[in-house]
Chains A and B, each alone.
Chain A
């Protein structure tokens, strides 16, 4: 197929990577935006989810949040941001993506904490553990597979969504796709799509490996069996 040939020819030209606003720069930009967004979302969501999960409050709130966030199109949020003082560009994209990265982390962490066996908590309490020790020495380690699922869902979602920023004047790897569609250049469109899809699959794969590494010995099973909460294609 000639479009695929054009795509590989485009990707094979070093100048397309190294020139200003070339693929390399867009790639770094894409990863930076995504990384900052997921990091910020984790900083916001984890303490809230741990507090809610430990006390068992706000279950309805977290479920409602993840349901509502599914109904709000990312493109709408990016466009709305663009016409507020936040404006468009990489900072606005990062803020919008942070908002979208929060619900999966929040919900999965909350569920992870709530799913900790009540008997274990009772035993730990009977051994004289303080509430703080319960959180950090019992609940948190046992909830690690769920937390990692949340982080992975968020990260994959954010990497995917970051491509949409190109539709509203932002950067990242969506730029070649949007440009290619504008010029009806099939090769350019495919080249961008291949890079974005590979990046998303790579992030998913790396995080699956990472969650196996950091999970307790039984984590391997529970990571694979756990259903994603609030995952959605973007």
Chain B
């Protein structure tokens, strides 16, 4: 095995590899973006009502936080394995698995954001005659946006990293390129290209979300929302 790895030239960055394989890499990148965006979007759709519900009762919020700790602790490979009998070797399996993890991160941050709304703001809105719906959408959600976005950024960045593990069922986006390099006599060029692209994708999405958060919450610019 070591012979094979050292005999032929095996550069980290090879323009000829990139030239002849850019279609493969681009489609892997596209799959990676789809996996990430769909999973996080699913996570948001489920996490939001859960957080609103959880706020109403202490028991429910304890149950949701406890359950999320358990989901969080389960290794990704095991999570995909648990879903395998239900979903088979499909892209849906990867999406559901990733959505579960992002859901867990998001519901905590959404809940923290809603709970962090100052009571004074709520009372003032109540005094001005706001009903529960307007209170939620015009007072509480805008005030909780920085915390929402903090959670969204964490969820997105970890989903990009985690999506590579989807290679176990053949849908890992850039993870497919990574492992194909490993399986092709430890070919370095695809491994390096996929690793760099994954990190860049995570940073790019993080930047987009950070800029969006700044644009949506101009009042919080002084405070850092990590």
B84 touches A233 (CB 8 A): no
Pick the contact of B164: A73, A83, A196, A231 (CB < 8 A): A73
* Binary flags per residue of B163-187, CB closer than 8 Å to A gives 1, else 0: 0110111000001001101100011
| B3 close to A (CB within 8 Å) | no
Pick the contact of A200: B10, B75, B195 (CB < 8 A): B75
Shortest C-beta distance, B191 to chain A (Å), equals 5
Shortest C-beta distance, B141 to chain A (Å), equals 21
A76 touches B178 (CB 8 A): yes
| B74 close to A (CB within 8 Å) | yes
| B41 close to A (CB within 8 Å) | no
Pick the contact of A79: B78, B158, B161, B179 (CB < 8 A): B179
From B69, B74, B81, B169, residue with most partner A Cβ within 10 Å: B81
| A93 close to B (CB within 8 Å) | no
A186 touches B76 (CB 8 A): no
B124 / chain A contacts, CB cutoff of 8 Å: none
| B202 close to A (CB within 8 Å) | yes
| B18 close to A (CB within 8 Å) | no
A190 touches B73 (CB 8 A): no
Pick the contact of B161: A63, A71, A169, A193 (CB < 8 A): A71
* Binary flags per residue of A199-234, CB closer than 8 Å to B gives 1, else 0: 011001000000000000000000000000001111
Q: Which of B120-178 contact A (CB under 8 A)?
A: 154, 157-158, 160-162, 164-165, 167-169, 175, 178
B77 / chain A contacts, CB cutoff of 8 Å: 163-164, 166-167, 174, 177-178, 193, 196
A156 / chain B contacts, CB cutoff of 8 Å: 73
Q: How large is the interface on B (under 10, 10 to 19, 20 to 34, 35 or more residues)?
A: 35 or more
Which residue of B is nearest A233, CB measured? Answer: B101
B169 touches A181 (CB 8 A): yes
A33 / chain B contacts, CB cutoff of 8 Å: none
Contacts known (A73-B175, A164-B165); A189 close to B191, Cβ less than 8 A: no
| B8 close to A (CB within 8 Å) | no
CA distance A191 to B158 in the complex (A): 26
Which residue of A is nearest B205, CB measured? Answer: A71
B45 / chain A contacts, CB cutoff of 8 Å: none
A63 / chain B contacts, CB cutoff of 8 Å: 226
CA distance A83 to B189 in the complex (A): 10
Shortest C-beta distance, A31 to chain B (Å), equals 14
CA distance A231 to B154 in the complex (A): 10
| B26 close to A (CB within 8 Å) | no
A binding-site residues for B, Cβ under 8 Å: 1, 3-4, 63, 67, 70-77, 79-80, 82-83, 87, 156, 159-161, 163-164, 166-169, 174, 177-178, 180-181, 184, 186, 189-190, 192-194, 196-197, 200-201, 204, 231-234
Known: A200-B74, A201-B74. 13 other contacts (CB 8 A): A70-B158, A71-B160, A72-B161, A73-B195, A75-B175, A76-B199, A161-B75, A174-B77, A180-B81, A181-B81, A204-B73, A233-B76, A234-B162
Closest 5 CB pairs of A and B: A193-B81, A160-B75, A71-B202, A193-B78, A76-B195
B binding-site residues for A, Cβ under 8 Å: 2, 5, 10, 69-79, 81-82, 84-85, 89, 101, 104-105, 154, 157-158, 160-162, 164-165, 167-169, 175, 178-179, 181-182, 186-188, 191-192, 194-195, 198-199, 202-203, 206, 226
